[in-house]
């Protein structure tokens, strides 16, 4: 995961701009819709307008056509249907999520779900992200694990922080930068922190979306392996290349490391490792080569 930087004023501007994938007048419609939901006291499907589809393009562009969680790229106009506008905090109900055995053994406690959900947030522009259908449908659904009780009666930033969400919101700077929480050992994601809640957040996010599940999510592992090979080969060739070739190779390397590139968090972590521990980087590159050439 990576952060997609944007401020309040700029996000609101894009939301209202059709040229940016938004819709003129959307914010006023959202305010009216949110007032109606707040008065009703809960979200009911079919009773209120689902306006978020009108601003889907804003988040696709902001996220470089990447899933907010697994960083899979789904590009082009046709790829739009492969994305869901994801309510980070579920609007209508919160289903319980039980940590897998390894996390339970670490005494990671998750608050139970809530039938009402976050009915004060269905139209919040800071509660949206686009995700691939695998992450949204197969993994997230209506689940939203927190360490403390859900802040179901408040949309205030302080109240939402107090519930201690395990999942990481990547849009803007309201949440922790995902890359400060989740790193990579080769193609496999890992927690950056050695202890404390930051480590728990990383471990839960990784397990929740199956980001380290090479069996069920072999596609993203293989894609990460390809990225590692591309970065590694650029670094190897840069050593002996002449000036003209170096310039071309550096341009290619920069493209792989760009936030717009698929699995850029993995690419950036591997590139940093190449400088910090060349031997370990070479070992990860060999493993990536074997994985990339496998039939799985």
pLDDT tens across 135-150, in order?
A: 999 999 999 999 988 7
Among 109, 144, 174, residue at a domain's last position: 174
Q: Which residues of the chain have pLDDT under 70?
A: 76-78, 113, 295-296
Asked whether residue 149 falls in the same domain as residue 288, the answer is no
Among 145, 174, 203, residue at a domain's last position: 174
- Please check whether residue 118 lies inside any domain of the structure: yes
Asked whether residue 168 falls in the same domain as residue 230, the answer is no
Which single residue is written with the structure tokens 């990447």? 66
- Please check whether residue 201 lies inside any domain of the structure: no
Asked whether residue 35 falls in the same domain as residue 123, the answer is yes
Asked whether residue 146 falls in the same domain as residue 63, the answer is yes
What is the distance between the alpha carbons of residues 240 and 31, in angstroms, rounded to a whole number?
59
- Please check whether residue 182 lies inside any domain of the structure: no
Predicted pLDDT of residue 46: 82
Structural domain boundaries enclosing 239: 218-293
Asked whether residue 168 falls in the same domain as residue 227, the answer is no
The CB density around residue 8, as the number of other CB atoms within 10 Å, is 11
Among 174, 195, 230, residue at a domain's last position: 174
Predicted pLDDT of residue 295: 59
Predicted pLDDT of residue 256: 97
Enumerate long-range contacts of 8-14, CB under 8 Å, 24 or more apart: 8/172, 11/58, 11/62, 11/125, 11/126, 11/171, 11/172, 12/125, 14/58, 14/61, 14/62
Asked whether residue 155 falls in the same domain as residue 229, the answer is no
Is 30 strand, coil or helix?
helix
- Please check whether residue 199 lies inside any domain of the structure: no
What is the distance between the alpha carbons of residues 73 and 33, in angstroms, rounded to a whole number?
32
CA distances from 176 to 59, 82, 188, 197, 269 (A): 19, 27, 21, 12, 17
Asked whether residue 98 falls in the same domain as residue 235, the answer is no
Tell me the whole-structure pTM to 2 decimals.
Answer: 0.92
Report the domain count for the chain: 2
What is the distance between the alpha carbons of residues 70 and 131, in angstroms, rounded to a whole number?
8
- Please check whether residue 213 lies inside any domain of the structure: no
Asked whether residue 16 falls in the same domain as residue 150, the answer is yes
Predicted pLDDT of residue 233: 95
Predicted pLDDT of residue 77: 63
Asked whether residue 49 falls in the same domain as residue 149, the answer is yes
């Amino acid at each position: 995961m990576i952060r997609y930087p944007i401020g309040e004023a700029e996000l609101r501007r894009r939301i209202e701009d059709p040229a940016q994938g938004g819709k003129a007048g959307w914010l006023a419609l959202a305010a009216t819709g949110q007032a109606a939901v707040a008065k009703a006291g809960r979200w009911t499907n079919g009773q209120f307008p689902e306006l978020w589809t009108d601003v889907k393009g804003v988040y696709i562009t902001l996220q470089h056509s990447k899933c907010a969680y697994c960083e899979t790229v789904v590009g082009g106009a046709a790829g739009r249907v492969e994305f869901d506008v994801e309510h980070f905090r579920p609007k209508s109900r919160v289903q319980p999520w039980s940590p897998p055995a390894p996390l339970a053994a670490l005494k990671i406690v998750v608050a139970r779900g809530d039938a009402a959900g976050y009915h004060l947030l269905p139209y919040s522009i800071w509660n949206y992200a686009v995700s691939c259908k695998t992450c949204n449908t197969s993994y997230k659904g209506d689940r939203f694990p927190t360490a403390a009780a859900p802040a179901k009666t408040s949309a205030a930033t302080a109240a939402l922080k107090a519930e201690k969400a395990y999942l990481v919101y990547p849009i803007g700077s309201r949440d922790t930068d995902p890359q400060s929480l989740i790193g990579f050992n080769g193609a496999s994601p890992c927690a950056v922190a050695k202890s404390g809640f930051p480590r728990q957040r990383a471990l839960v996010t990784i397990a929740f979306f199956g980001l380290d599940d090479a069996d069920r999510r072999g596609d993203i592992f293989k894609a990460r392996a390809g990225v590692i090979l591309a970065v590694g080969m650029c670094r190897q060739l840069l050593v002996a290349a002449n000036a003209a070739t170096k310039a071309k190779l550096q341009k290619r390397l920069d493209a792989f490391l760009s936030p717009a590139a698929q699995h850029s968090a993995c690419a950036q972590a591997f590139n940093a490792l190449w400088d910090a521990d060349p031997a370990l980087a070479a070992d990860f590159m060999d493993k990536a080569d074997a994985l990339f050439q496998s039939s799985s």
